[in-house]
Structure 1
Amino acid sequence: MRTFTLPLALAAGLGLTAPAPAQNLEDVIGGIAQTLIQQELDKNAYLAAQEANTAAAYRDYLAKFPKGAYRVNAERALERLGASTEASSAAQAEARLGITFAQKVGVQRELTRLGYRTYGTDGVWGKNTRTAIATWQRDRGDKVTGYVTEAQLRLLLRGAVVTTPPADDGGTVGTSPVAVEAALKLTRTQRVEIQRQLSALGFDTGVADGLWGAKTRTAIKAWQRANRQTQTGYVTAAQVKLIRQQAGSSTPTPGTDNEAALEESLLGLTRTERVDLQRRLTRLGYETLRTDGTFGPGTRRAIAEWQADEGEPATGYLTADQVRLIRVETGG
């Protein structure tokens, strides 16, 4: 028999005294879960910026959470550091544009075509893409911020071919959600990880065994509904990425993670060295969420993002050369 102890408790906490239909109650609970997740991400991002205590870190926070709960604190911190809020304002203005994944890829391709290297066209605007944008702005005689305005976005997209792959848009005309997910060719390990991530976000998939039955499909639908996406019960590439970001972990890359993890273990990094690397990554703008010497999901994600921006395979595990490069990039 199904029990509704948690939903009823949450409903009671919200002051919902009248009985609500099960579907409506699920929507309410899903909305609450999503709100709590966003609040936690907002808090963690601000704490990371506060720990780094650099203008770049606070600007990065404002770019990711332009309406965040700690926005005023971040702006005041920038003032204390003597940094201009011009860049943070530009970051917030760009965030309001709602640039899609396909448009980000299109901008990266156009910048590369124009000779401004972004070191990747993956839709993730990291340090290299921001540098390319800033250089392009400088060469045009525009204000150099590293963040695009609406007019600049239109200009860059005018010469770019923006296409959204079927795996990213939930299915184009004539492509079913089943076919879109099948095209991802998810491994059993990846399916297990996604089940765990969904469960961690409050969408129960049952046993995380890599077999996506009725319970997992229902969990995917509930997650899609909570994120205002088409409820198909089948995932797209963009959705897999979003689930991973929300859960704060990374899906293993088939055939590379074990080898990369082994190679990193051979480095014999001490706890002090790990703490130092976490702090250096944070200074570069890649949030590790913690600087405790433990390379958890936040640190692995930060490493992978840095690797992608450097044009390296994004394994989330460091090599000796990459450790040296991080040290060079942060002043030795």
Structure 2
Amino acid sequence: MRTFTLPLALAAGLGLTAPAPAQNLEDVIGGIAQSLIQQELDRNAYLAAQEANTAAAYRDYLARFPKGAYRVNAERALERLGASAETSSAAQAEARLGISFAQKVAVQRELTRQGYRTGGTDGVWGRNTRTAIATWQRDRGDKVTGYVTEAQLRVLLRGAVVTPPDADDDDVGSSPVAVEAALKLTRSQRVEIQRQLSALGFDTGVADGLWGAKTRTAIKSWQRANRQTQTGYVTAAQVKLIRQQAGSAAPAPGTDNEAALEESLLELTRTERIDLQRRLTRLGYETLRTDGTFGPGTRRAIAEWQG
């Protein structure tokens, strides 16, 4: 079905060559959306660390985003707090191991079995688990950091039975942020979830696909109302449940409206729109005008380009 909307200028704005008619731009757009999502996750994680303003919080940020946009800020904050750079490096080294949720649960169970109190075996390595790891390291005569090395992880996992509680397809990451990121939600899907939450009475603000503080609060409120762990980040099962609950209450835009929304979310500048018109004209699709206004001629040219 032709949609008459196409963010071809996005490719032009990124310095890409004009695509051939057969090229599928969904991959390009999806990649940009994922990049925006990753940037948002990075920013939210840093803001959370900044709000907590503790060495542990900044180390957690660096562990999750070793090459994050706010890495230098986090490192400076650690220096200001008098935290050990060595421990920060240990956190980053642990993050590179890519420890799964199931493995984290297994480590907690093994530490608990040995008499080290982790405060729970839920796969979340908070203060209690870090203290347990540090104590275990001290008792072994290892360097005390509270973060495991690859060799230590092998020791703690030896013979452990990995059976995470309530195991399901959501257990693909080591944190709520990682679990949500693994879903690879497109921007239009994120917009849909925002609309569904708002329809259910959990105000997300503007449904723009960018999940800021208001959307995260709405997700937490929905999770609390549904007796879910309140993280502000969704799992695959929760996305399905939200969709089921919203049902007909959630707006269901048509294909054309969805395409128009997808294009509008790109916030194309007038220069980019003019460039798009010129590119279409060079490819043999007559737009009638190249003034940055997508009138009937440009929409028809886009539809013909789409085939």
TM-score, structure 2 as length reference: 0.54
Decide which moves more: 286-295 or 233-242. 286-295
Distance in 1 separating the partners of 2:4 and 2:110: 52
State which structure, 1 or 2, has the greater radius of gyration over its C-alpha atoms: 2
RMSD: 19.4
| Per-residue deviation, 1:44 | 2.3
Distance in 2 separating the partners of 1:299 and 1:112: 66
Decide which moves more: 224-233 or 57-66. 224-233
| Per-residue deviation, 1:36 | 0.7
Decide which moves more: 18-27 or 101-110. 18-27
Q: Which runs of 5+ in 1 are unaligned?
A: 307-331
**Measured at CA, do residues 179 and 119 of structure 1 come closer, stay the same or move farther in structure 2, by a change above 3 Å?**
closer
Q: Find the counterpart in structure 1 of residue 278 from structure 2.
A: 279
**Structure of higher RCO (CA pairs closer than 8 Å, 6+ residues apart):** 2
| Per-residue deviation, 1:168 | 3.8
| Per-residue deviation, 1:183 | 20
| Per-residue deviation, 1:94 | 0.2
| Per-residue deviation, 1:270 | 44
Distance in 2 separating the partners of 1:88 and 1:130: 13
**Measured at CA, do residues 35 and 269 of structure 1 come closer, stay the same or move farther in structure 2, by a change above 3 Å?**
closer
Report if aligned partners of 2:194, 2:215 keep a CA contact under 8 Å in 1. Answer: yes
Decide which moves more: 178-187 or 144-153. 178-187
Distance in 2 separating the partners of 1:287 and 1:56: 59
Deviations, residues 109-148 of structure 1 (Å, cap 9, x unaligned): 1112112222322222222222221221122222221111
**Measured at CA, do residues 62 and 158 of structure 1 come closer, stay the same or move farther in structure 2, by a change above 3 Å?**
same
Distance in 1 separating the partners of 2:245 and 2:198: 12
| Per-residue deviation, 1:275 | 47
**Measured at CA, do residues 190 and 54 of structure 1 come closer, stay the same or move farther in structure 2, by a change above 3 Å?**
same
Distance in 2 separating the partners of 1:155 and 1:264: 52
Q: How does 1:198-213 map to 2 (within 5 A)?
A: none
| Per-residue deviation, 1:8 | 2.3
Distance in 2 separating the partners of 1:133 and 1:60: 15
**Measured at CA, do residues 109 and 237 of structure 1 come closer, stay the same or move farther in structure 2, by a change above 3 Å?**
farther
Distance in 2 separating the partners of 1:288 and 1:55: 57
Report if aligned partners of 1:34, 1:226 keep a CA contact under 8 Å in 2. Answer: no
Q: For 1:22, what is the secondary structure of its paired residue?
A: coil
| Per-residue deviation, 1:261 | 37
Report if aligned partners of 1:101, 1:123 keep a CA contact under 8 Å in 2. Answer: yes
Distance in 1 separating the partners of 2:262 and 2:291: 21
| Per-residue deviation, 1:57 | 2.5
Decide which moves more: 126-135 or 217-226. 217-226
Q: For 2:180, what is the secondary structure of its paired residue?
A: helix
Report if aligned partners of 2:108, 2:118 keep a CA contact under 8 Å in 1. Answer: yes
Percent identity over the alignment is: 93
Residue 156 (structure 2) pairs with residue 156 (structure 1): yes
Q: For 1:57, what is the secondary structure of its paired residue?
A: helix
Report if aligned partners of 2:280, 2:301 keep a CA contact under 8 Å in 1. Answer: yes
Deviations, residues 82-103 of structure 1 (Å, cap 9, x unaligned): 2211211111000000111221
Report if aligned partners of 2:197, 2:242 keep a CA contact under 8 Å in 1. Answer: yes
Report if aligned partners of 1:168, 1:236 keep a CA contact under 8 Å in 2. Answer: no
Q: Aligned residue pairs: how many?
A: 304
Distance in 2 separating the partners of 1:226 and 1:304: 44
Report if aligned partners of 2:6, 2:263 keep a CA contact under 8 Å in 1. Answer: no
Report if aligned partners of 1:224, 1:231 keep a CA contact under 8 Å in 2. Answer: yes
| Per-residue deviation, 1:153 | 0.3
Report if aligned partners of 1:244, 1:250 keep a CA contact under 8 Å in 2. Answer: no
Decide which moves more: 221-230 or 74-83. 221-230
Q: For 1:248, what is the secondary structure of its paired residue?
A: helix
Report if aligned partners of 2:280, 2:287 keep a CA contact under 8 Å in 1. Answer: yes
Decide which moves more: 54-63 or 176-185. 176-185
